[in-house]
Structure 1
Amino acid sequence: MQSSKENTSVCPRGKSILGSVLENSKHENKSVCSVCEDRKNEDGTDRDSNWEQVYKQDEVNGATLSRQKSKDMIKEEAILLRASRSQINIHASLHDQMEQAHLAAHLPKVYLPCGFGPVKPDNGKVFFFDIDNCLYKKSTKIHDLMQIYIHRYFKKHLHLNDQEAYRLHMKYYKEYGLAIEGLVRKHRINALDYNKVVDDALPLDRILVPNSKLRKLLIRLKHEGKIQRLWLFTNAYKNHGLRVIKLLGLGDLFDGMSFCDYSHVPMTCKPMKSAFDKALEDAGVTDPRNAYFIDDSSINVDAASKFGWGHIIQYIEDATADEISKRKAENPNITIIKDIIELPKACPELF
């Protein structure tokens, strides 16, 4: 007897890492669903295999899609589409998929026992973790998305065209380390209002997924007992940092956070010495030689080295041998890893 249900299958590219099916991924008697088919070139290759290619193609076809779409809107859509595809992991084992699904269904509540510090100094060893492009991969393109939102803010609130907005954005970034610092100093922008429409507006829940492997690694690091505290050290405002660790399933593993306080002018952020000194004070470290630090930014890890921090790791995603050799020549005091899961190789004394 034939089933009353539709004879549907699931697009092989439509199953997410969590075992759920992405919207519109079911189809009838097709090898690839219409959503995926729409993103194919004439030669059958994926249009979004390279987001810059998507940007150019969608720009050419922009009149068909929407005459009102700006370039940054098209680029934003391409990044989000790529992010949804990056969650697909058909090579993950059943055990890994089940672990990931369980963590996603039971995300730990965010709890920082030491808050934002300061902790009573005890000079124990503390591991400081950068957040963006460090706890998650740079290839998620969250940084690129953030740049779009910042660029949009410059255009709208300072009434600039694309070129003017880009030049001023880069000028403030180079001068102050954060674009918002220049906006506050030169234009009296309310930094917290800025944060609401930039960092807080990022659709992180559409990009980030829980990382069970990183969670197990951090639990192992804590349980070894060779580190006094795990501490977050970010140039973002606290709201963003808390959102990220929650979505990654790491909300209950860190003891505290040092962040860039957007409500305080002038702002203190990496690579300023005052930011590194404050992080040590927040976490109760009196001797910087007892500080472990991981960051993706060459500027920040070089600053930590200059300020005498004892153990410095730079995370360069998928770094080539030439890139590693070049960075080691520039700063022999750092250790380079290509994936944060390689942390035990960088500091085996802690594991």
Structure 2
Amino acid sequence: MTKDNLEAPPGERIFYFDIDNCLYSPELGIDRQMRDGIYAFCGEIGMDSASIVKTCNSYYKDYGLTVRGLINHHDIDVVKFIEKVDGPLQIESIIKPDPTLRLMIQSIKTRRWAFTNAGIMHAKRVLKCLQVDDLFEGITFCDYTEPDFPCKPERRAYSKAMAESGVADVRLCYFADDSAQNVKAAREIGWTAVLVSKQTPSASTTNAGTTKDLHTTSIHDLPSVLPQLFA
């Protein structure tokens, strides 16, 4: 890539938005609720309580999502997992409409697509609570019932997003995510990617020499990071 991939080739550009902890603040604690739900589910299926945290962290690191490790090593009932972990999340009482977010997304001069590691019902719940669900052409999500389903930061997850949104040229692809690993993977395949995090990215998750390390502490500030998409 050259010039940080900021000039897209002829064609219609597309912006892929991560959802959880990206479109809303991680300080809302949805991820903590989900983590607690996963730990409780692990206890229900008979995992050793002393090793649940360590095992779940290992699965997350190895597979991108804890649930993939549980599927591979514990043959769990995925439908029951979704009911037990995602169902009780207090999304509607915690995530509120965000008019500033809505205006920002509306003003971007690209196609708009949601790209999440969550399941489809969870993704729809969050987007509806934020009142931005009508602003996206589609959602690339993880189908936990699909054997060996792809998820970020695997390359095939990004290929899936491109295929589902009908994009063939990586230079047309823009992306925002709160995970440094997901952003790094996107940059490595040629997407222009923005890390949305209050934490400063470490050297191990940057791509010096291949693309500009675009970073913002809030998704609301995206226009200041990529002004050419909002001009």
Structure-2-length-normalised TM-score? 0.89
Question: Which 4+ residue blocks in structure 1 deviate beyond 6 angstroms?
Answer: none
User: 1:197 and 1:248, CA in 2 relative to 1: closer, same or farther beyond 3 A?
Assistant: same
Using the alignment, how far apart are the partners of 1:272 and 1:189 within structure 2? Answer: 22
Q: Give, as a single letter, the amino acid of the residue that structure 2 aligns with 1:138.
A: P
Task: Tell me the secondary structure at the aligned position of residue 113 of structure 2.
Answer: strand
Using the alignment, how far apart are the partners of 1:157 and 1:216 within structure 2? Answer: 44
Give the aligned partner of residue 314 of structure 1. Answer: 195
User: 1:315 and 1:328, CA in 2 relative to 1: closer, same or farther beyond 3 A?
Assistant: farther
User: Structure 1 regions of 5+ residues with no counterpart?
Assistant: 1-121
Q: Tell me, yes or no, if structure 1 residue 210 matches structure 2 residue 86.
A: no
Give the aligned partner of residue 148 of structure 1. Answer: 36
Using the alignment, how far apart are the partners of 1:170 and 1:217 within structure 2? Answer: 34
Give the aligned partner of residue 126 of structure 1. Answer: 14
Give the aligned partner of residue 303 of structure 1. Answer: 185
Give the aligned partner of residue 234 of structure 1. Answer: 116
Q: Tell me, yes or no, if structure 1 residue 199 matches structure 2 residue 86.
A: yes
Give the aligned partner of residue 181 of structure 1. Answer: 68
Give the aligned partner of residue 75 of structure 1. Answer: none
User: 1:165 and 1:256, CA in 2 relative to 1: closer, same or farther beyond 3 A?
Assistant: same
Following superposition, the deviation at residue 304 of structure 1 comes to: 0.5
User: 1:329 and 1:185, CA in 2 relative to 1: closer, same or farther beyond 3 A?
Assistant: closer
Contact 1:215–1:250 (8 Å) recurs in 2: yes
Q: Give, as a single letter, the amino acid of the residue that structure 2 aligns with 1:286.
A: A
Following superposition, the deviation at residue 159 of structure 1 comes to: 4.0
User: 1:159 and 1:330, CA in 2 relative to 1: closer, same or farther beyond 3 A?
Assistant: closer
Using the alignment, how far apart are the partners of 2:40 and 2:93 within structure 1? Answer: 20
Using the alignment, how far apart are the partners of 1:255 and 1:330 within structure 2? Answer: 30
Following superposition, the deviation at residue 160 of structure 1 comes to: 2.3
Contact 1:123–1:286 (8 Å) recurs in 2: no
Task: Tell me the secondary structure at the aligned position of residue 182 of structure 1.
Answer: helix
Contact 1:200–1:239 (8 Å) recurs in 2: no
User: 1:328 and 1:155, CA in 2 relative to 1: closer, same or farther beyond 3 A?
Assistant: closer
Q: Give, as a single letter, the amino acid of the residue that structure 2 aligns with 1:186.
A: H
Q: Residues 189-219 of structure 1: CA distance to partner in whole angstroms, max 9, x if unpaired? A: 1222211111222011121111011111111
Task: Tell me the secondary structure at the aligned position of residue 301 of structure 1.
Answer: helix
Contact 1:294–1:301 (8 Å) recurs in 2: yes
Matches within 5 A, 1:13-32: none
Identity over aligned pairs, percent: 35
Q: Tell me, yes or no, if structure 1 residue 331 matches structure 2 residue 219.
A: no
Larger Rg: 1
Q: Tell me, yes or no, if structure 1 residue 340 matches structure 2 residue 219.
A: yes
User: 1:133 and 1:263, CA in 2 relative to 1: closer, same or farther beyond 3 A?
Assistant: same
User: After the TM superposition, which of the residue ranges 197-206 and 259-268 deviates more from structure 2?
Assistant: 197-206
Give the aligned partner of residue 60 of structure 1. Answer: none
Task: Tell me the secondary structure at the aligned position of residue 133 of structure 2.
Answer: coil
Give the aligned partner of residue 37 of structure 1. Answer: none
Following superposition, the deviation at residue 327 of structure 1 comes to: 5.3
Task: Tell me the secondary structure at the aligned position of residue 152 of structure 2.
Answer: coil
Give the aligned partner of residue 128 of structure 2. Answer: 246
Matches within 5 A, 1:155-166: 155-161=43-49, 163-166=50-53
Matches within 5 A, 1:282-301: 282-301=164-183
Using the alignment, how far apart are the partners of 2:75 and 2:204 within structure 1? Answer: 41
Contact 2:181–2:205 (8 Å) recurs in 1: no
Structure-1-length-normalised TM-score? 0.59
Task: Tell me the secondary structure at the aligned position of residue 252 of structure 1.
Answer: helix
User: Structure 2 regions of 5+ residues with no counterpart?
Assistant: 1-9
Q: Residues 218-254 of structure 1: CA distance to partner in whole angstroms, max 9, x if unpaired? A: 1122xxxx31x20000000001000000001111111
